Amino acid sequence: MLRKLIKRRAMFADMHQKDVPGGLRVCASFSIAYRKQDGSLSRKRRVGKSFKKVPGQSGFRTNIGHNHLLLLHDFDTNEDFNIHIDLIVEYNGMTVDHRV
């Protein structure tokens, strides 16, 4: 059986659609699978975008375009974590296509 593909752009558009106009932010959950830096595969079944600041001296928000990192919140463990965008394998059960 063929798996459904999703372009990286469409994946980010789907994540950002959950923002509500008027300044309210809704954390809609989705599942994600990604490769860790050591090459192992990790899956999280209930995560959402994190609206917290990245820890550090300046407290800047992670910029997807410059850092290629995505800050997510795991609802099961109630922790924030970073993943490298290029290492995302699946989004909501669909294989992520990183080609432009």
pLDDT in tens, 64-77: 556 788 889 999 99
Q: Is the pLDDT of residue 61 over 70?
A: no
Asked whether residue 64 is assigned to any structural domain, the reply reads: yes
83, containing H or E segment: strand 79-84
Is residue 11 one of the residues assigned to a domain? yes
Res 52: pLDDT: 72
The verdict on residue 81 lying in a domain is yes
CATH code at position 89: 2.30.30
Tell me the pLDDT tens digit for each residue of 5-23: 999 999 988 887 655 666 6
pTM, to two decimals: 0.76
88, HSE (Cβ side, Cα atoms, 13 Å): 30
Q: Which residues span the domain enclosing 78?
A: 5-18+29-97
